[in-house]
Structure 1
Amino acid sequence: MQLAEGRLTAFGVLCLIVAANSSTVAATVEYLSPPGQPFLPLSLSPDGSSAHLILNDGSSDDYFWSEGHGLKAIPIPTDPRYASIGVRDVSADGSSFVGRARSGSTFVALRWTTGGEISELAGLRGGKTDSILPRAISANGAVIVGDSDYTNNDREAVTWSNSDGSLTRLGHLGISPLYREISGPRAVSSDGSVIVGYSSRSDGWTRAFRWSSGKGMAEMPPSELTTHFSDASGVSPNGRYAVGYGSTLQNVPQAVIWDMTAETVLGLGMLPSSSFSVPSHLVAYPEGSRAFAASDDGQIAVGVSAVFARINSFGDGKSYERTFIWTPSSGIKTPMEFLVDYLGLNLHGATISEVYDLSADGKTLLASGLNAGGMATAMLVHLPIPEPSSIALACFGLVPLAAIRRRR
């Protein structure tokens, strides 16, 4: 193929490579942890340059990985007032942390920084209670989200300003004297302006909510997929898309993605039973799926799908879970099905077992699996190209474009 002035563009070269042999296109696999050590990835910064991990060896020590600095233990305050401090989340630059600690006979919510500053987060009942739970901090470190009890039975989603600790109540979707009042956040956008989670309504049912500083709390766009229950587990860094799951009275929960600008809902499906390592003498029944992260354009999401396997429909059994990757063109697939079978990528001998998060542009995946030597490790998978369907469409357009240019 020859383009104008006898030059072949870089994208044209990529088209030829993919057309000839897609398996020659290599992903960049970046290992985050020492091989063989049981590090569990938790979250990835929007730009893919840092990650929060936990050492899953019984110690539950938290670590922060960043480009140029590698993997380092998260600093835990040594204040004598606090014991058993646990990290819940970390800002994208690794400078601010939120968590819980034991103080005397109860627990407190804490925020602290790498500079040594530490302070308690107040709840809706003032003082120390076991039920103040910080859950996440925005990527820019400005907003902390969590929930607090305000009676023995009722809880409410709240935010704290990381600069001064001031508290803001987010409310509920509805209140009734007949039912408990419960709301809780699951995730926050990069700048802290959009929060998603779950809340009770006045009819007693629980639905996914979205909250923004300008509009307050509102229920997610309705759908036939969420008539019985819904919960938002994650939000895209820019705050446009939310992901989670919903169910009807007749069906098991299914992963969904909400476009909060277009007011639409899309079901992502569930992995087939063949995707799970279920013993042959057991029968696998769908148990549901849930999405927990999405890119800024909503074109790629990750989550978890499960089946319940047992000898017959009434016997005892066991749940089996697998994480998935979803795009509009590929549908729902296991990590290796998506990366190797669908995209045709060369992973340099690595095996991707699970995916936990992704960058805002959807091109970096936070994952775990085996390196080329068969050792367990946490890793980043950098995707080098758009999806095959996108490349095919673009490549298809190169031929008439070349012809037009030759006629000039």
Structure 2
Amino acid sequence: MRFVARLWAVRLAIALSVGLSTWTSGAAQSLTWLGTFGGDRSEAWGVSADGSVVVGWAKNADWDRRAFRWTASGGMQDLGTLGGGSSEAYGVSADGSVVVGWAQNASYQWSAFRWTASGGMQDLGTLGGNESAAYGVSADGSVVIGRIQNASNRYRALRWTQAGGMQDLGTLGGNESEAWGVSANGSVVVGRADDAGNAWRAFRWTVSGGMEDLNLTYASLLPSGSRLEVAYAISLDGRYIVGYGINATTGRREGFLVDTVPEPASLTVLGVGLAGLIGLKRRKR
């Protein structure tokens, strides 16, 4: 089972719903098509802070998806696999030196990876299950987040560091969780987790406090019957969290923006820009 279609749609929708800061530059506007590895498709998923490094995946002549790292001077670089046929890159550090994603091993199971020019593609492993995936990385590349399958074949939010290895971030009383966003310093992770009733709840995890339910933390901001279901991204400083949930006022699933500044915190509903995209289901390979 895969989340690729949903992840792409949600990231695009968040960008459209929240709106990007307007800026001007003396440089001329440009559009660059990145190409493929001989196949018919490629997708770019991440970009370094200065825009010089792009990561994603591209099909080769054998129709395999291969993770790539692109630069203007070097073009599209195939990052390889973990012994299987395919790989996909989803995140990149601020300076473009660390790339994360997932790749097939020799048994054609998908495993989270962390790639550097000096070390190549590193298999981050699992926690007894058959699959893991990396969706994001801290600004300095030291912290990787995503999801991992445990020995009970349940997906759990993961946080990986070189010193501590793979860490299961737990749940909110249910069986599964997934991590989707991380702050610049890697200390704050956001995502979604099941509660005891198997309902999705948006979470925030911190090194000092562990996993907290955003619905409880910001209960005073939520109209009766509303629920924050998934947190997909967090600002670099950890202040702003975006995702989607149920807005009881309108009866719709809508994107949200939480400003977590201590006093007063605020919740902004982003309207229907996200609603048409969140219905995308998991896509099988």
User: TM-score, normalization: structure 2?
Assistant: 0.74
How far, CA to CA, are the matches of 1:77 and 1:333 in structure 2?
Answer: 38
| Aligned partner (choices 110, 121, 140) of residue 95 of structure 2 | 140
Between the aligned partners of 2:37 and 2:154, the Cα distance in structure 1 is 43
What is the correspondence of 1:239-278 to structure 2 with a 5 Å cutoff? 239-260=186-207, 262-269=208-215
* 1:47-126 alignment runs, 5 A limit: 68-69=25-26, 72-77=29-34, 81-106=38-63, 107-126=65-84
Deviation at 1:103? 2.1
The question of 1:293 aligning with 2:237 is answered no
Question: 1-side partners of 2:40 and 2:192: how far apart?
Answer: 36
Is 1:323 the counterpart of 2:239? The answer is no
Q: Quote the offset at 1:233 in angstroms.
A: 0.7
Offset of residue 307 of structure 1: 6.0
Q: 2: distance between equivalents of 1:286 and 1:190?
A: 33
Distance change (3 Å), C-alpha of 1:354 and 1:192: farther
Deviation at 1:273, TM superposition (A): 7.0
Partners of 2:228 and 2:180 lie apart in 1 by: 14
Please report how far the alpha carbon of residue 182 of structure 1 lies from its aligned counterpart in structure 2 after TM superposition: 1.1
Matches of 2:202 and 2:62 in 1, distance apart? 40
How far apart are the structure 2 equivalents of 1:208 and 1:78?
Answer: 33
Gaps of 5+ in 2: 1-11, 275-285
CA distance in 2, matches of 1:116, 1:240: 33
1:170, 1:288 → 2: CA distance? 30
CA distance in 1, matches of 2:29, 2:155: 39
> What is the CA distance between 1:144 and its match in structure 2?
0.5
Spell out the pairing of 1:216-255 with structure 2 (5 A cutoff).
Answer: 216-220=165-169, 222=170, 225-255=172-202
What residue in structure 2 maps to residue 157 of structure 1? 112
1:83-105 deviations in Å (ceiling 9; x for gaps)? 43321211111111112223224
Which residues of 2 match residues 171-182 of structure 1 at below 5 A?
Answer: 171-175=125-129, 181-182=130-131
Shift of 1:42: 4.5
Task: Tell me the secondary structure at the aligned position of residue 68 of structure 1.
Answer: coil
Please, which runs of 5 or more residues in structure 1 have no aligned partner? 1-38, 44-50, 53-64, 176-180, 275-284, 310-317, 337-351, 356-408
**Judging changes above 3 Å, is the alpha-carbon distance between structure 1 residues 79 and 258 closer, same or farther for their aligned structure 2 residues?**
closer
What is residue 4 of structure 2 aligned with on the other side?
none
Q: CA 1:156/1:67 → structure 2, altered by over 3 Å: closer, same or farther?
A: farther
Map 1:394-405 → 2, pairs under 5 A: none
CA, structure 1 residues 295+88, in 2 after alignment: closer, same or farther (shift >3 Å)?
A: closer
Q: Deviation string for 1:47-78 (max 9, x for gaps)? A: xxxx79xxxxxxxxxxxx97525784452245
Give runs of aligned pairs for residues 307-386 of structure 1, distance below 5 A: 320-327=253-260, 328-331=262-265, 333-335=267-269
Number of equivalent positions? 254
* Separation in structure 2 between the aligned mates of residue 99 and residue 273 of structure 1, nearest angstrom: 39
Q: 1:97 to 1:272 in 2, by over 3 A?
A: same
Q: Deviations over 1:243-295 (max 9, x none)?
A: 111112315211111112x1422221288579xxxxxxxxxx86751112334
Residue 241 of structure 1 aligns with an amino acid whose one-letter code is V
Whether 1:193 and 2:134 are equivalent positions in the alignment is no
Report which of the two structures shows the higher radius of gyration computed on alpha carbons.
Answer: 1
Q: Tell whether the 8 Å contact from 1:252 to 1:288 is kept in structure 2 after alignment.
A: no
